[in-house]
Every structure is written in C-alpha cells, then in structure tokens.
Amino acid sequence: MKNILLKTLIVALVVGFSSCVDLEEKPIGLLAPEALFQTPRDVEVAIFGAYGWIASERLYGRQFVSALMLRSDMVDIGDRGTPAERQQVNDFNMDANNGMVSRFWPYWYQTISSANAAIAGAEGLEASTDVINPLIAEARFIRAFSYYHLIRVFGDVPYIDYFIRDPQSVADISKTPAEQIYQGIIEDFQYAKEWLPDTWPNNIKSRPTKGTAASYLASVYLTRENWPDAYTEAKWVIDNKDRFGYSLEPDYQNLFIALNGDRPEHIFTVDFLGSQNGGGGANDDLMPPMSGIRGADHQGWSVLVPSMQVFNEWNDDDYRKWVSFDDSIAVDGVLAPYTEFDNTQRPHIAKYSRFPGNSSGDGRYSDHNYSAFRYAEILLIAAEAGAEANGVSAEVIGYVNQIRERARNWGGEITSTVPEDITTTPGKDEFVNIVLNDRRLELAFEYKRWYDVKRRRLGQEVFLGPDAREPHPTFDPARDYLFPLPAQELDVNPNLMPQNPGY
C-alpha cells in the first residue's frame, strides 16, 4: 500500500514538474524593438530618447561643450589640478585616446541611432503622411544636428543614415567624406524645414520647428561659405520671425537665468531639469560647477576659466561683460575680488553658475535650458553672409546694430552708450571682422567661438600671433583644426584609417 502511494507520488512529481518547465524568457519591463513602434507616440518615444542623450553629461552637460570651449581662445584651464585630458584639449597636445573625445563620440552616435530608429519606426506606421512626415522630419533634424557637430569637430566620419539591427553590417565601413555628409545634413534640414511645425505648444524650443531647421541651414551654409544661401535662409528666418515667435530678449541677463526656461529669443534649446539625476549621464548638467569659482560659497571647480586677456580687452561699459563674468564672489559670506580667489585668481564665467535655478549646492543638475541657437545669431549670420554675398549695406549694419542696441539695456535701463551703433559704412573685410568680434562677445562662452576660429582659420592669429588672446605655441594649423578620432574605433575597425593628420 505504502509502496503504491510512494510510486504514485514519484510519478506525479516527475511528470508534474517536467510539464511546468518553460524555458522561454518573458522579460517584464523590457522594451522589445519589434513591438515598440505601434503608434506615432511610440515614434516620439525614440525621438525623445535622442533629446535625452543630447541633454546629458557627455554632450551639452559637460564633455562635448567643455571641449569646444577649451579649444577656443575664449576659455582657458583655470585649476591646473584638473584632469590632464582637459588641459591637453586646451593646450593643443591631445592624443587619440583623449578621454573627453572617447566619452562624447559614442553619445553622438547613440543619439543618431535613436533618431534612425525613430525614422524606421515612423516609416513602418500605417498612418497618413501628415502624421508620419513631421515625425520623420524631427528625427532627421536631430540626425543632421548631430552630424553637423561631428564633422566640424572631426572632419570625415562614418555616416549612417539608417537604423542598424545588426552591427556586423557596418563593422568594416570606411569614413564618409565630410563634403558628402554635408549633403545629407542639408537634405535632412531641408526636409525638416518642409515638414516641421511652425511652433510647438507652449512655445517649447527644445523641439525643432521650421524656423529652427532654417536657422541651422543658414549656419551650415555660413560654415561652407555659401554666402548667398546662408544669407537667404537667415533672411527668411528674420522675415518670418513673428510667425515663429522670435525676438531679441530685452534684457540680455534674462537669457542666462535657468528658471526663465525657453524665451522668445531661443531658436533651439537643450532642456535640463533641475536637481534630477537621470542615469547614464542623462540630465546631468555640470557646466555651472565646471565654470564656477572654487572656494566660493557658491561652490565651483574653476576648470573653464577665460584668460585675463579676454576679460581685460572687453569694454567695462558693455553690460554683456558683467552678465558673462563674475569678477568677485561671496567667500564665507564676504564679497571677495577675483584677486583673492582660492584657486584661480581670474574673473570666471557667470553665464551658467550665477542663476542655475533648482540645482545641487554647486550648481550641478541645473535647471538651465541651454541655448544651442538663438535669434541674435541669426541676425549676425545675416549680417556676415549678407555682407560677403552682396556687400556692406545699411541692412546688414542694421542687424548688428539690433544686437548692440539690446546690449545697451542694463537690466531695463539704458545707461550706457557701449557698444555704440555702427554709424559709418566700413569696407567688407572690416565689417566681417566687426561681425566676428560681435559674435565672439555676444555669444561668449556659448560653444560657438571654436567653430568661428576654425571656419575663418583664425588659429594663428589668436594662439600664435604677437597679440594672441590665449597664447599656445603648440598650436599647429595642419593638425589642430580637427580632433583625433577615438583610437578605439580605429582598433575595432581599421578601415577608418587614416587617422586625422598629426595624431
């Protein structure tokens, strides 16, 4: 009897357990690509993923924009105790293993990958072109925005404009010439200009509109010295500024107060949310501490600090100087001049650290909406390109004077005459130099200057000449207008050889 019972039990057990074995994985909480893109909203999820990576520590939160700043003549290293890789970007002695590069390079491509995934997802939707094309346009805008940065920094790079399901398929591709990538960028921006909306609800500027796409087209043409097209696009934005809601902010300072969020002057912003840590570097903004003052009550790290020359040569009566700089700060509750700063006895950049909004004590995880493009730049592009294309005219002078007029507004009161309007008609070369200098000051520390130095080949003048703003005897024009590609990429795929010259 007992025997039978037991045998039954054994059989029941073995059969019972064998039959409930199911080795298929049914993960909970994982997003499977096959099932992801069902609705337009799902495509938006991938587009938003790209924005999340742009607003990350690797790109607009620190690494990428710091590298752009350091490379220029406007920002130097403050604390020389900071990691060598930053000093090497600044001092023109970097190599192909530079850590800043190896951190921001993959994030640009992951941003592109997200955009490509969104495009593939949108193309698979069963919906009308009115629904699908704007989604594709937004993703193509992000892709073009990313490649536009990449080729200005690196020159020729691998160009991928489709969603990769099998990385093996691109394992041995070669670089695409920058010239060819520019065609892709222009097509993407043109498509975006065609299909994006004029505005977003609540005038959000961290998503692109027709105006944003046109503005970037103007910038691309300007970089390529296609003056007529650059002028045309910029002029189109200016002519349609009311349609897009663009205007100059009356008080320059308002652009650099995190809590103000997106302003009418903004054309494209990178949106960080205060005091939130997103993981993987997402939403981690470190520009306030990177540029802030070490030892101050409002703690910073004194890494990105302009040379004295930048401060000294800037007219004290220019309001923008005092928005851009802190030359004193509270230390233990007492205002200390920069000569008494603990670490780096120089005025520091104030645009990011002064009003970081809701953030950590040192300004990390700030609430800034960083300006990637603002209306003032469109005016300056129209001025520069217009002068180059059609000569100096009252119209192009007027664009510069609009900027200068706003700069004379000291927090609501017009108390200064600096910077004065241009009242004469300078020659073309002189005017272009004026515009470039106005760009330098108006857009100071906004990640634009290095691209200007590069496209106008100003390196020898600003780093080597007798009047060098930031002397760097190591500057080599044959090498230093491009960054090296990450060595690891060349190791994994030797077809990316040759490395950029000099590295």
Interface positions, 52-71, toward another protein (CB under 8 A): 52-53, 55
Q: Which of 128, 129, 202, 312 touches another protein (CB under 8 A)?
A: 202
Q: Which of 40, 99, 264, 471 touches another protein (CB under 8 A)?
A: 99
* Length in residues, the chain: 503
Q: Which residues inside 444-473 make contact with another protein, applying CB under 8 A?
A: none
Residue 371 touching another protein (CB under 8 A): no
How many residues form the binding site for another protein (CB under 8 A)?
Answer: 111
Residue 275 touching another protein (CB under 8 A): yes
For 113, phi then psi, to 5°, come to -60, -40
Q: What angle do CA 147, 149, 151 make, to 5 degrees?
A: 65
Nearer to another protein, 337 or 498 (CB): 498
Question: For residue 321, what are its two tokens?
Answer: 């100087």
The radius of gyration of the chain's CA atoms, rounded to the nearest angstrom, is: 26
Q: Which residues inside 232-271 make contact with another protein, applying CB under 8 A?
A: 261-262, 271
Residue 81 touching another protein (CB under 8 A): yes
Nearer to another protein, 51 or 141 (CB): 51
Q: Which residues inside 399-418 make contact with another protein, applying CB under 8 A?
A: none
For 293, phi then psi, to 5°, come to -100, 120
Question: For residue 39, what are its two tokens?
Answer: 């609705």
* Residue 353: CB minimum distance to another protein, A: 14
Give the three-class secondary structure for 313: coil
* Residue 339: CB minimum distance to another protein, A: 12
Q: Which of 170, 421, 429, 473 touches another protein (CB under 8 A)?
A: 170
* Residue 290: CB minimum distance to another protein, A: 12
Which region among 101-109, 130-138, 231-239, 404-412 touches another protein (by CB under 8 A)? Answer: 101-109
Residue of 236, 277, 50 whose CA lies nearest to 143? 50
Nearer to another protein, 436 or 487 (CB): 487
Distance (Å, rounded) from C-alpha 170 to C-alpha 113? 13
Q: Which of 57, 249, 318, 362 touches another protein (CB under 8 A)?
A: 362
Q: Which residues inside 104-123 make contact with another protein, applying CB under 8 A?
A: 105-106, 109-110, 112-114, 116-117
Q: Which of 66, 72, 206, 371 touches another protein (CB under 8 A)?
A: 206
Q: Are 343 and 78 in contact (CB under 8 A)?
A: yes
Q: Which of 1, 30, 334, 478 touches another protein (CB under 8 A)?
A: 30
Cα→Cα distances 78→288, 349, 376, 450, 474, Å: 14, 11, 29, 18, 18
Residue 306 touching another protein (CB under 8 A): no
Distance (Å, rounded) from C-alpha 221 to C-alpha 247? 22
Residue 319 touching another protein (CB under 8 A): no
Q: Are 499 and 96 in contact (CB under 8 A)?
A: yes
Torsion angle, CA of 63/64/70/72, rounded to 10 degrees? Answer: -170
* Residue 62: CB minimum distance to another protein, A: 11
Q: For the chain, how long is the longest CA-to-CA vector? A: 116
Specify the DSSP element, H or E, that contains 222: helix 210-223
